[in-house]
Amino acid sequence: MSRETRKLEHIRLALAQRTHECGGFEDIRFVHQSLPESDLSETALETRIGELTFSSPILINAMTGGADKTKEINRKLAIAAAETGVAMAVGSQRAAIVDPALIHTYSVVREVNPQGIIAANLGADASVEDAIRAVEMIQADLLQLHVNVPQELIMPEGDRSFRGIRKRIAEIVKYSPVPVIVKEVGFGMSYETYKELIDIGVRIIDVGGRGGTNFIRIENERRKHRRFVSIETWGQSAAISLLEAGPFLDRVDVIASGGIRNALDVAKSLSLGASVVGIAGSFLRILQEEGLEALIDEITHLHEELRVIMTILGCNTISELRDVPLVITGFTADWCHARTID
């Protein structure tokens, strides 16, 4: 099967996925306070990652590129990003590295949105040269390197060996012209992984938690038989992944993603320490089923609702959200109590 056909199948199957799961945020609750010293008109949505200032904490996360149909999706996502001031990532640029005739399916995002924050994307097995080409291809501000071991193992055409992965990430971090984000794609991150990534110089991590788009289910759907059903719920939710990042928040910027459904999930993510919140599958669904205007409306409303939540909580800035009390219940609380770390 060609890479192009596989990518189109991923989109079709991601759109067909109707999950009732979420990123674990049902276990996280804010405590209502009745006397907040806040003013809706003064709420500011700016946030920072390293030296970069984002005008919104929302990121349209990596999805696509590499074919005419997916170029059109990238073009529309980039218009939505430019209109609403949110950051955006393209999908894996491997296709255009292999065949430069496909570069236009990614670079369209920079043409449409010359001033916006845009992230390039490759697998963590990329070479330094490929990483630099991916960044230059779209004049990216950031480079995402995705790690997706469970998905690769289930894909008939996927990788089978992951030896040397840390060394390759370390090399790219060292030579990349822009800051590097290491991101999961729906299996979440652990204390141990954060520690290993920090040790090799990574300073931005996207948790890519379980509960949203499920790539084990997508790959299982592509198989006629011999499906890997027992591992369909593999991994940590975004909420648990953020809690696992707790001890490292003074050393890394964390992006929350995976099953983020609404403004309350965004607020909870920011409160748990994320600087930015990525949304992929649900934005794609709105774009493909309801159109570009509906996606712009959705992002505009997310901003509005986030401002309302911040005002209720007495916060004027995104960073103040980190100081509000949270109550953790259910499976997420059980996880925190049961988890032992050496």
User: Which residue is closest to ligand FNR by CB?
Assistant: 212
The pair of three-digit structure tokens given for residue 18, joined into one six-digit string: 């109707």
The pair of three-digit structure tokens given for residue 128, joined into one six-digit string: 């330094």
Cα 159 to the chain's mean position, in Å? Answer: 22
Residue span binding ligand FNR (CB under 6 A) among the ranges 98-106, 127-135, 281-289, 333-341: 281-289
Q: Where are the beta strands (DSSP E) in the chain?
A: 28-30, 47-49, 52-54, 58-60, 87-89, 118-123, 142-147, 180-184, 204-206, 253-257, 276-279, 326-328
Interacting residue with ligand FNR among 118, 256, 280, 324 (CB under 6 A): 280
The pair of three-digit structure tokens given for residue 188, joined into one six-digit string: 């979440």
Q: How far is the CB of 187 from ligand FNR (least distance, A)?
A: 9
Interacting residue with ligand FNR among 84, 193, 213, 269 (CB under 6 A): 213
Q: Is 279 in the site for ligand FNR (CB under 6 A)?
A: yes
Residues 6+ apart with CB under 8 A from 293: none
Q: How far is the CB of 17 from ligand FNR (least distance, A)?
A: 8
Q: Is 57 in the site for ligand FNR (CB under 6 A)?
A: no
Whether the CB-CB separation of 210 and 184 falls below 8 Å is answered with no
Residue among 112 and 181 whose Cβ is closer to ligand FNR: 181
Site string (175-204) toward ligand FNR, x via CB under 6 A: --------x-xx------------------
Q: Which residues of 212-224 are buried (b: 16+ CB within 10 A; e: fewer)?
A: bbbbbbbbbebee
Residues 6+ apart with CB under 8 A from 19: 211, 212, 214, 259
Q: Is 22 in the site for ligand FNR (CB under 6 A)?
A: no
Q: Tell me, what amino acid is at 44?
A: A
Residue among 150 and 208 whose Cβ is closer to ligand FNR: 208
Site string (86-125) toward ligand FNR, x via CB under 6 A: -----xx----------------------------x----
Site string (222-261) toward ligand FNR, x via CB under 6 A: -----------------------------------xxxx-
Q: What backbone torsions phi and psi does residue 233 show, to the nearest 5 degrees?
A: -110, 30
Residues that bind ligand FNR (CB under 6 A): 10-11, 14, 61-64, 91-92, 121, 144, 146, 183, 185-186, 208, 212-213, 257-260, 279-282, 284
